[in-house]
């Protein structure tokens, strides 16, 4: 199968559901790509699930580029999207273009940023520079402090209208797809029906054009998975058991075995 590009993703709307997952390094990128995902997101969630931060706010460009370069060296077939971290695109359009450009130079196929209507001009400028953009509306974890935490979105009528406006602004600005996070499923459905670009949902119901999950949540490696994630395997248990066996074999002298070492003949 050939490399996925943004046109491939746009054409999937209404035809085939889009499967997106995060990955943060070479090994996980190889694994998820061989499992057949359409999009790999190098998400700023890396700060929480791999670096132990309690929010995504401390994540910076240096951290993102290090993880992104590890992922792109796996040369995935999937589209690779680099997540714009907090303070990499908000202060000015010029900073946004420069930072998104660094993502592209590191091998990203597109970037994602949190926001809709307020970032319409920023998205336009990125697209003008040749950088494909994925929007992110509904719950925006980088701005969770404004609403008192990781709250459900699309609850009040005002919020529902705003989410629809955000989606339309992103479409107008030339975004190729939109992530909708933790939003009432009927609102996500309406957005999906009203825009021509694919919607990719997390915690926003089944009526989107695709779904996204965080690698560590899906595999049972997260300490605090969100209520809307699904765990498909318990790697925590598998890994802990394997390492426990190793520790025990070292302690009891059962490892290494003869085939794991050599005795060089003296001459």
Q: Can you say which residues are annotated as belonging to the binding site? A: 44-45, 83, 112, 114
Answer for the pair 99, 121: CB distance below 8 angstroms, yes or no.
Answer: no
Q: How far is the CB of 220 from Na ion (least distance, A)?
A: 20
Of 6-14, 37-45, 59-67, 89-97, the segment contacting Na ion by CB under 5 A is 37-45
Which segment (37-45, 70-78, 157-165, 182-190) binds ligand KIV by CB under 6 A?
Answer: 37-45
Q: Of 45 and 192, which CB lies nearer to ligand KIV in the complex structure? A: 45
Q: Which of 28, 45, 183, 204 binds ligand KIV (CB under 6 A)?
A: 45
Taking alpha carbons only, the member of 126, 119, 138, 80 closest to residue 100 is 126
Stated as kind and residue range, the H or E segment containing 241 is helix 235-252
Q: Among this protein's residues, is 181 annotated catalytic? A: yes
Q: Is residue 181 within the footprint of Na ion (CB under 5 A)?
A: no
Minimum distance from residue 56 beta carbon to Na ion (Å): 6
Size of interface with ligand KIV, in residues (CB under 6 A): 10
153/140 Cα distance (integer angstroms): 10
The answer to whether residue 38 forms part of the interface with ligand KIV (CB under 6 A) is: no
**C-alpha span between 170 and 152 (Å, rounded):** 21
Q: How many helices (H) and strands (E) does the chain have?
A: 10, 8
Closest approach, Cβ 238 to ligand KIV, in A, equals 23
User: Could you say whether residue 204 binds ligand KIV (CB under 6 A)?
Assistant: no
Burial class of residue 208 (count of CB atoms within 10 Å of its CB; 0-12, 13-18, 19+): buried
Instruction: Report helix, strand or coil for 98.
Output: helix
d(CA 211, CA 162): 22
Question: How many Cα atoms occupy the beta-carbon half-sphere of 131 within 13 Å?
Answer: 29
Cβ 28 to Na ion shortest distance, Å:
16
Whichever of 119 and 254 has its CB closer to ligand KIV, that residue is 119
* String of contacts with ligand KIV for each residue 60-99, x by CB under 6 A: -----------------------x----------------
Structure tokens at 88: 């990499």
Choosing from 165, 171, 181, 190, the catalytic residue is 181
Query: x-or-dash pattern for ligand KIV, window 117-156, by CB under 6 A?
Result: ----------------------------------------
Which of these, 131, 69, 74, lies nearest to 99 by C-alpha position?
Answer: 131
Burial environment of residue 122 by CB neighbours within 10 A (0 to 12, 13 to 18, 19 or more): buried
Active site residues: 181
Which residues are near ligand KIV by CB under 6 A? 22, 41, 43-45, 83, 179, 202, 212, 214
């Amino acid at each position: 199968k050939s490399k996925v590009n943004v046109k491939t993703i746009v054409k999937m709307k209404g035809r085939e559901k889009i499967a997106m997952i995060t990955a943060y390094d070479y090994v996980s990128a190889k694994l998820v790509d061989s499992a057949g995902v359409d999009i790999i997101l190098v998400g700023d969630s890396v700060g929480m699930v791999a670096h132990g931060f309690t929010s995504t706010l401390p994540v910076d460009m240096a951290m993102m580029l290090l993880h992104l370069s590890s992922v792109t060296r796996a040369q995935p077939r999937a589209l690779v999207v680099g997540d714009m971290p907090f303070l990499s695109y908000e202060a000015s359009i010029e900073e946004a273009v420069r930072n998104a450009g660094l993502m592209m130079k590191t091998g990203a196929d597109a970037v994602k940023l949190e926001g809709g209507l307020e970032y319409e001009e920023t998205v336009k400028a990125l697209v003008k520079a040749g950088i494909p953009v994925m929007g992110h509306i509904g719950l925006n974890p980088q701005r969770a402090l404004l609403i008192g935490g990781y709250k459900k979105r699309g609850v009040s009528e005002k919020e529902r209208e705003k989410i629809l406006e955000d989606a339309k602004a992103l479409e107008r600005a030339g975004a190729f797809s939109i992530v909708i996070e933790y939003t009432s499923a009927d609102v996500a459905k309406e957005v999906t029906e009203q825009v021509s670009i694919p919607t990719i949902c997390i915690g926003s119901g089944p009526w989107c054009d695709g779904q996204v999950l965080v690698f560590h949540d899906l595999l049972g490696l997260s300490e605090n998975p969100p209520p809307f994630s699904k765990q498909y395997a318990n790697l925590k248990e598998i890994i802990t058991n394997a390492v426990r066996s190793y520790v025990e074999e070292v302690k009891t002298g059962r490892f290494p075995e003869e085939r794991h070492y050599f005795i060089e003949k003296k001459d």
